[in-house]
Amino acid sequence: MTRPPGSGAGDEPMIAGGGPAAPSAALLAETAVRALREEALLGPKPGLVDHRGGGAHDDMDLPLLLASAEALRPVFRAVADASERTALGVGLREELGRLGRAGDRVMLRATRGVNTHRGALWALGLLVAGAAGARDEREGVRRAARLAALPDRRMPAGALSNGERARRRHGVRGARGEAVAGFPHVVDVALPRLRRAGAAGAERDVARLDALLEVMSLLDDTCVLHRGGVEGLRMVRRGASRVLAEGGAGTDSGRAALMDLDRRLRSHRLSPGGSGDLLAAALFLDMVPWPEPSAGTGREVVACRR
């Protein structure tokens, strides 16, 4: 498995038989927070929060995103602990639901009410749970998807979320459907792009930006649909495709197209927050020191483009 430079795996503990040990709950939580931090620090990202400011968000900035990521560390730790001691089933799903809802409250306390990482906590929470006890990446993702598909009878009926409204209106699968399907935009889109670019010697941040752009060019992001409808989603997807067609973030013309897209997304208040979450999920999977190497996920790049 090729890792982008600086991905940090390789110093994992060894067990007596010579193979690497399963990552501890503390390490999984640390890796999840690190993935969130590295996504936040990456830039320039079109429409998203980075070192330059809040992007399309007038209520967020980089320090807020970093504080939110740090506040979620004990939540990820509790998710990993629960997943280590409980067999995969409805009981664990309901415990994760409880931890996830408590995590949403932790995040909102840390950000004074701003929704920085709700979607990321969902995706990374499931992937942390899947990784606890998995031998390799493929098994980790499969376990996460199975957990997402299980019923959570304790989920309180509340007001319709923005994502639910967008899903009903536009018939898209949203954050929940992405997880149940086994995170296709992470596993079949972002990760192969990151790894191909890493293998070809691309600069780490360029590889990450191009992976983000590829997800943006394909994803039905309910964050975008909620704010800008179908027209907004078209602007995001076409704009991201254009940056890649111009050569991506590592070329002069690709970079000019990226900055142009950034200006347009900011002026229309369009945030590709779901794509940001899924890039963080890809970084997480790439940084986990899995006990066994896997030759990817066994799935080839799928036709997500509609």
Ligand X SMILES: Nc1ncnc2[nH]cnc12
Rounded Cα gap, residues 205 and 279, in angstroms = 12
Question: Phi and psi (nearest 5°) for 24?
Answer: -75, 165
Indicate the residue among 175 and 202 with the shorter CB distance to ligand LTSJ6FE6.
175
Indicate the residue among 39 and 139 with the shorter CB distance to ligand X.
39
Contacted by 49, from ligand LTSJ6FE6, ligand X, none: CB < 5 to 8 Å by type:
ligand X
Who's near 227: CB < 8 A, 6+ residues apart? 56, 269, 270, 271
Contacted by 97, from ligand X, ligand LTSJ6FE6, none: CB < 5 to 8 Å by type:
ligand LTSJ6FE6
Indicate the residue among 18 and 156 with the shorter CB distance to ligand LTSJ6FE6.
156
Report the 10 Å Cβ neighbour count for 115: 18
Rounded Cα gap, residues 230 and 37, in angstroms = 30
- Would you state the structure tokens that stand for residue 247, as one six-digit string? 């050569």
Cα three-residue angle 197-200-205, rounded to 5 degrees: 40
Indicate the residue among 137 and 221 with the shorter CB distance to ligand X.
221
| 48 part of the interface to ligand X, by CB under 6 A | yes
The strand pairing partners of 53, in sequence order, are 50
Helices (H), 72-89: 73-85
| 39 part of the interface to ligand X, by CB under 6 A | yes
- Quick check: 128 and 79 in contact, CB under 8 A? yes
Contacted by 220, from ligand LTSJ6FE6, ligand X, none: CB < 5 to 8 Å by type:
ligand LTSJ6FE6
Tell me the three state secondary structure of residue 179.
helix
> Buried b vs exposed e over 76-114: b needs ≥16 C-beta within 10 Å?
bbbbbbbbeebebeeebbbbbbebbeebbebbbebbeeb
**Where does this chain bind ligand LTSJ6FE6 (CB under 6 A)?**
57, 79, 96-97, 99-101, 115, 117-122, 125-126, 152, 161-164, 174-176, 178, 219-223, 226-227, 271, 273-274, 277-278
- Quick check: 188 and 219 in contact, CB under 8 A? no
# chain residues binding ligand X, by CB under 6 A: 14
| 115 part of the interface to ligand X, by CB under 6 A | no
Indicate the residue among 45 and 118 with the shorter CB distance to ligand LTSJ6FE6.
118
Cβ-proximal residue to ligand X, closest one:
276
Interface map 153-182 toward ligand X (x if CB under 6 A): ------------------------------
Who's near 200: CB < 8 A, 6+ residues apart? none
Contacted by 48, from ligand LTSJ6FE6, ligand X, none: CB < 5 to 8 Å by type:
ligand X
- Applying CB under 6 A, among 33, 120, 194, 240 the residue interacting with ligand X is 120
- Applying CB under 6 A, among 22, 29, 38, 57 the residue interacting with ligand X is 57
| 215 part of the interface to ligand X, by CB under 6 A | no
Nearest to 130 by CA among 252, 290, 261: 290
Indicate the residue among 4 and 97 with the shorter CB distance to ligand LTSJ6FE6.
97
Residues in the chain: 306
Q: Residue numbers of the site for ligand X (CB under 6 A)? A: 39-40, 45, 48-49, 55, 57, 60, 65, 120, 271, 273, 276-277
